[in-house]
Amino acid sequence: MTGSATKVATTTKYLSWVTLALMTTSSVASLRSAPTMAVYGLACVFLYIIPAILFLMPTSLVAAELASGWQGGIYKWVGDGLNKPLGFLAVWCQFAMTIFYYPSLLAYVASTFAYIIHPSLASNGVYVAIVIITIYWAGVYVSSHGTKTVAGLSSMGLIIGTLIPGTVLVVLGLVFLAQGNASAAPMDSSHLLPAWAGLASLVLIVNNFLSYAGMEMNAVHVSSLRNPGKEFPKAMFLAVGLVLVIFILPALAISWVVPAASLSLTAGVMQAFDGFFSHFGIGFLTPIVGIALVAAALGGMLTWLAGPSKGLLLIGRSEGYLPPILTKLNKHGVQQNMLVAQGVFTTLIALLYAFIPNVSSAYWILSVITTQVYLIMYVLMFAAAARLRKTKPDHPRGYRAPALYALCGLGAVSSVAAFTIGFVPPSQFGAGSPLIYVLIVGGGMSVVGLLIPYLFYRNRRDSWKLDVPEGEKV
């Protein structure tokens, strides 16, 4: 018996902290948000670093402690730390944010693809809406058949759609400046901080909270480290450094060649490539880069399409929170009806692009609503972590976050502040009505993030409970 146990122990495979750092980087870093911060020029450095300190690090370390002590994800953490209804709200928000996330992701795909066929389409709302709806439902069809071959696309996403294009973008930008060309955005020390023109001038920082979101998912790997207490913080600090480099340098490169006034929040990456390639006389490469960016984004979408709904599916089946029609599995074991229901909302939201004149405005509004819904989950996570440390201090944890209460306080305050600022229209969209902006953001967040889960919880039925395999119970 002892020999067997020894054999198991010696053959246990551990992740190195560097590997975990790279895994985290690949799941968080993306070029998609670069145009959003490029409008600030050199000040984007400040606007990326601040949320990294105030939000990214607290989220990473707190989630690591929770993941190393409680299996079952956000529902288990909040359910045990606070109560089950709030646990359901947390897992719902984690799922519901994808309803807004996919339209904004696919708007980026649509605008990028436009540069392959006809650049003027990038600002055409009807075109963007058609692409979003078509690609999303094609993704639902593929996912409902349990196809696994697309998973490889996401594993290459960091290289194909981020590292290679990002490196090329930065190198071209440096060569562009070295040739004596003037930067479209000022690069002197007086522009290190964003110009203050009221609260609205800092609103775009909210989008960076969503850029860093998802760290709680990577925290589940903390138990795979040989020495979590020492290695996990090292992995997170390395990941933060890599993420900041991937976010900041391409954003700066875009600001060097595309003036802020003409920068599209959805097609800004391709605008920069088009500008650089045209300058260097290699415009024929623009479609190739566009295909690489589109392929990486689509691979990530297909891989994650059914993922966030899986946690909600297990809760709905085991606790009776969702009607059986939503938790029913098809012959491939996929929650097809839930994906279809999600697709109905995604389609309705996608139509915003057809009716809101400015595609960038629609993209920004959806990004803010996504952030608002997700921030509700983070506030609950921080509150649960603090209470679990107080009420269950002796519960086994593979990792104990240093200064947990301070981290939870910092993360919760930052999340609430970002949530509040999200209701302020950004200065770039000052032409529209602030009241309409607040009503759209507040209405979208309230209905999807609060009202719908409340109605599901209030109308829950014991008869809706279905058997869940022992290993998948939460």
Residues 398-409 pLDDT 10s: 889 999 999 999
**pLDDT score of 4:** 43
Which amino acid would we find at residue 71? Q
Percent of the chain at pLDDT > 70 equals 85
Residue 8 maps to a domain: no
- Tally the domains of the chain: 1
Query: What does DSSP assign to residue 30?
Result: -
- Where residue 213 falls (left for φ over 0; alpha for ψ -120 to 50; beta otherwise) is beta
Residue at 11 is within a domain: no
Residue 203 has pLDDT above 50, yes or no: yes
Confidence category of residue 466, pLDDT binned at 50, 70, 90: confident
Give pLDDT, residue 405. 96
Can you give the pLDDT at residue 346? 85
| For helices 84-117 and 336-350, angle between their N-to-C axes, nearest 10 degrees | 60
Residue 11 pLDDT class (50, 70, 90 cuts): very low
Spatial distance between the Cα atoms of 244 and 436, rounded to a whole number of angstroms: 34
Q: Is residue 63 part of a domain?
A: yes
Instruction: Say if 470 falls within a structural domain.
Output: no
| 3-class secondary structure per residue, 205-257 | HHHHHHHCCCHHHHHHHHHHECCHHHHHHHHHHHHHHHHHHHHHHHHHHHHHH
Residue 474 domain-assigned? no
412 — phi, psi (to 5°)? -70, -45
For position 161, which CATH number holds?
1.20.1740.10
Q: What are the residue ranges of helices labelled H in 258-285?
A: 268-279
User: Would you say 41 and 191 are in contact if contact means Cβ atoms under 8 Å apart?
Assistant: yes
Whole-prediction pTM:
0.78
1, part of any domain: no
Residue 420 lies in a domain: yes
Domain that holds residue 258: 17-216+226-464
Q: What is the pLDDT of residues 383-433, one digit of tens each?
A: 999 999 999 999 988 889 999 999 999 999 988 988 888 888 766 555 567
Q: Is the pLDDT of residue 157 over 70?
A: no
Alpha-carbon span 369 to 441, nearest angstrom: 6
**Gap between the Cα atoms of 128 and 121, Å rounded:** 8
Rounded Cα distance between 364 and 356, Å, is 11
* Chain mean pLDDT for the chain: 82
CA–CA dist 84, 76 (Å, integer): 8
